[in-house]
Amino acid sequence: MPHHRIRSPWTALLATLVLIVGTAQVASAHAILLDSTPKANSTVNGTELAADLRFNVRVDGSRSKLVLVGPNGSATTLSIAKQTRPDHLQSNAAGLTAGAYKLQWNVLASDGHMTRGEILFAVS
């Protein structure tokens, strides 16, 4: 088996930088929720919700999922509207009653990785 040896400290430094930059680019492509309507821990008035989630990268709306969990624990999968912006998911829900809700999201990012999270909010 051949023995490879790094010939200079500059070669080692260059190899390390390439590894760090390559890893950072992959990690930065994962979908991170930047903003949402409703906001986390906010209170929504009324019986209807217009949800809008904005991510740091393009997400695939056709392979993503939004689930609204109501005060009684029942889960409803929401229909995702046709994407007008590649980094947004939008949906509507009606018939909400007062109480604590969770909007759970599961998105496919442009790097091919699924990311999930939830937004807690209340309806008054």
Q: Among 81, 86, 82, 11, which Cα is nearest to 54's?
A: 86
Q: What confidence tier does 17 reach under pLDDT thresholds 50, 70, 90?
A: very low
| 94 vs 22: CA distance, rounded Å | 44
| DSSP code for 97 | -
Q: What is the pLDDT of residue 64?
A: 97
Instruction: List, in order of start, the domains of the chain with CATH numbers.
Output: 31-123 (2.60.40.1220)
CA distance 91 to 103: 11
pLDDT tops 90 at residue 22: no
Tokens of 93: 């829900």
Over residues 1-21, mean pLDDT: 50
d(C-alpha 66, C-alpha 25), whole Å: 27
pLDDT of residue 8: 57
Structure confidence at residue 16 (pLDDT): 46
Q: Rounded distance, CA 12 to CA 98, Å?
A: 60
Q: What is the pLDDT of residues 30-87, one digit of tens each?
A: 999 999 999 999 999 999 999 999 999 999 999 999 999 999 999 999 999 999 999 9
Which pTM value belongs to this model?
0.76
Greatest Cα-to-Cα distance within the chain, rounded to the nearest angstrom: 72
